[in-house]
């Protein structure tokens, strides 16, 4: 899709946060109240009514996006709060101050002679009466949802300083059929559940889809040849190839933050070690040599380090190393088992699966292993994957009958929420923001 930026978003986040209590700081329970009066249109007549209808859709999408966050609380959009096109850039701040709003979103949808639409949105600090950012797009009508998600992201970033995760995708394994003969398909959807589609036909067991940073490629594990092997799918044209030639067992792939490399595990004989290879091929480079099971590697956001799990101490524990395999260092030391780590996009945390006896939970800690915090109750939670915002995690929760589902949990301590998908699901993976 084409999404031309009409104006660069301003640098605003730091200034806004510094204005005081209205900004939701980590650990601050109060959410920032934001007003989202219905977007307007410069068009008139029949076309104007059409555009206003689309503008109302965008308004409701922004409301729904921001409502699912812990940091921003929208006032329910009211169709009576109509404003004119010139007021998009000159809002009546006092009106929104009176309603308790600290921030405001305005915008418009305009028709173009070529059949496309121009969507513009603007975010304001209501108390200071100051614009915080603006974004504009020229889109085909089918991309209206994504334009709305971009507006939501603009508002979210203006308030929290973190990238929004509204225009992102979630890949996972769709599961159907009896437990002893599960049919597993790679599925992908927008993070709000829309545009759900299946990427593999279900004739072969598949596991652990992992999206490239902007969701243009997908690495996953397939049992196609009998042995589990990593395959790469081009999401633009559906083309696929094995990550490596040969018949070695490869698994646990993850892209580097710049998308240029894939780090993964390879099983040679009875030994699983971690390797890295160019995303477009080339010879793999071995990073670990322990005779234990080393697996589930995940890059730090700057690409300089890798966190992974190893049972070299006798139980599964987390380790970090430099991206070339040097300076391997254990970071977890309790009697619990730690596995499936993923480094947060902002670099501040490592999410992991915590396991004690038969109980599995999702937790986070600082990259040096301090500040461990368990986020979910379990008892059968696993496989955390970060939202682009670094403030939310998607994971798999299996119910007592053995059926897995996809859940989201926020770092703010609120309860995990089940995502609506068409069937059972496992191994969720959250992409970065789409561009």
Partner 1 sequence: MKMHKVILLIAALVAVPASAQLPGLRRRSPPPPTVVQSPIEVLRADFAAQAGGTTVYFAPGSAQLTPQARVILQGQAAWLRQHPTVAVRVEGHGDPTDTRDHALALGAERAAEARDYLMLLGTPAAQVTTMTWGKERPGPPSAMTTIQELGGPPAVPAAG
Minimum distance from CB of 208 to partner 1 (Å)?
Answer: 6
Would strands 417-418 and 373-374 be described as parallel, antiparallel, or unpaired? unpaired
Q: Give the 3-state secondary structure of 252-294.
A: EEEECCCCCEEEEEEEECCEEEEEEEECCEEEEEECCCCCCCE
> Which CB, 142 or 178, lies closer to partner 1?
178
Would strands 281-286 and 271-278 be described as parallel, antiparallel, or unpaired? antiparallel
Measure the CA dihedral 339/251/293/179, to 10°.
70
Minimum distance from CB of 330 to partner 1 (Å)?
Answer: 16
Q: How far apart are CA 63 and CA 55, in angstroms?
A: 12
Minimum distance from CB of 424 to partner 1 (Å)?
Answer: 14
Query: Cis peptide before 269, with omega less than 30 degrees from 0?
Result: no
C-alpha distances in Å from residue 64, one per residue of 35, 133, 170: 13, 20, 18
Residue 344 has which token pair? Answer: 């947060």
Minimum distance from CB of 151 to partner 1 (Å)?
Answer: 36
- Give the 3-state secondary structure of residue 344: coil
> Which CB, 272 or 332, lies closer to partner 1?
272
Minimum distance from CB of 26 to partner 1 (Å)?
Answer: 28
> Which CB, 167 or 296, lies closer to partner 1?
296
Minimum distance from CB of 71 to partner 1 (Å)?
Answer: 30
> Which CB, 191 or 339, lies closer to partner 1?
339
Minimum distance from CB of 324 to partner 1 (Å)?
Answer: 22
> Which CB, 57 or 205, lies closer to partner 1?
205
Give the residue among 276, 298, 294 at the shortest CA–CA distance from 350: 298
> Which CB, 63 or 175, lies closer to partner 1?
175
> Which CB, 134 or 360, lies closer to partner 1?
360
Minimum distance from CB of 50 to partner 1 (Å)?
Answer: 47
Q: How far apart are CA 105 and CA 39, in angstroms?
A: 8
> Which CB, 146 or 360, lies closer to partner 1?
360
Q: How far apart are CA 142 and CA 151, in angstroms?
A: 16
> Which CB, 121 or 252, lies closer to partner 1?
252
C-alpha distances in Å from residue 9, one per residue of 132, 206, 304: 8, 40, 29
CB atoms within 10 A of CB 434: 21
Give the residue among 331, 348, 351, 318 at the shortest CA–CA distance from 428: 351
Residue 392 has which token pair? Answer: 């939310």
Minimum distance from CB of 320 to partner 1 (Å)?
Answer: 18
C-alpha distances in Å from residue 199, one per residue of 145, 169, 171, 173, 251: 22, 13, 9, 10, 18
- Residues at the interface with partner 1 (CB under 8 A): 177-184, 202-205, 207-208, 221, 223-228, 249, 251-252, 265, 267, 269-272, 293, 295-296, 309, 311, 315-316, 339-340, 353, 355, 358, 360, 382-383, 402, 426-427
């Amino acid at each position: 899709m084409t999404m031309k930026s009409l104006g660069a978003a301003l640098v605003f986040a730091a200034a806004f946060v510094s204005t005081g209590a209205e900004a939701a700081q980590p650990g601050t329970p109060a959410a920032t109240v934001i007003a989202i009066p219905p977007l307007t249109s410069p068009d008139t007549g029949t076309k104007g009514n059409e555009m206003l209808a689309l503008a109302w859709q965008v308004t409701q999408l922004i409301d729904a996006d921001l409502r699912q966050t812990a940091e921003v609380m929208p006032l329910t959009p009211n169709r009576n709060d109509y404003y004119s096109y010139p007021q998009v850039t000159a809002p009546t701040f006092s009106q929104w101050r009176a309603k308790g709003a600290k921030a405001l979103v305005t915008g418009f949808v305009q028709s173009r002679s070529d059949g496309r639409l121009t969507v513009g949105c603007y975010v304001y600090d209501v108390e200071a009466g100051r614009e915080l950012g603006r974004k504009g797009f020229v889109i085909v009508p089918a991309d209206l949802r994504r334009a709305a998600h971009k507006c939501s992201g603009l508002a979210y970033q203006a308030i929290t300083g973190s990238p929004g995760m509204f225009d992102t995708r979630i890949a996972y394994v769709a599961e159907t059929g009896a437990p002893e003969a599960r049919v597993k398909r790679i599925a992908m959807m927008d993070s709000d559940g829309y545009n759900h589609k299946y990427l593999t036909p279900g004739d072969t067991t598949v596991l652990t889809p992992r999206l490239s940073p902007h969701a243009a490629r997908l690495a996953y594990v397939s049992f196609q040849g009998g042995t589990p092997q990593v395959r790469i799918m081009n999401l633009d044209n559906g083309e696929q190839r094995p990550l490596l030639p040969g018949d070695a067992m490869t698994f646990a792939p993850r892209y580097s933050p710049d998308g240029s490399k894939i780090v993964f595990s390879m099983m040679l004989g009875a030994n699983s070690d971690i390797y890295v290879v160019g995303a477009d091929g080339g010879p793999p480079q071995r990073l670990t040599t322990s005779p234990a099971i080393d697996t589930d590697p995940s890059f730090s956001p700057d690409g300089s380090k890798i966190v992974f799990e190893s049972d070299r101490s006798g139980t599964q524990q987390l380790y970090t190393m430099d991206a070339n395999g040097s300076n391997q260092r254990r970071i977890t030391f309790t009697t619990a088992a730690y596995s499936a780590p993923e480094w947060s996009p902002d670099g501040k945390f490592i999410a992991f699966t915590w396991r004690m006896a038969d109980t599995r939970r999702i937790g986070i800690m600082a990259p040096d292993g301090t500040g461990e915090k368990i986020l979910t109750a379990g008892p059968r939670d696993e496989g955390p994957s970060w939202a682009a915002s670094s403030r939310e995690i998607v994971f798999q929760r299996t119910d007592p009958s053995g059926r897995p589902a996809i859940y989201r949990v926020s770092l703010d301590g609120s309860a995990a929420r089940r995502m609506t998908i068409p069937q059972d699901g496992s191994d969720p993976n959250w992409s970065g923001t789409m561009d």
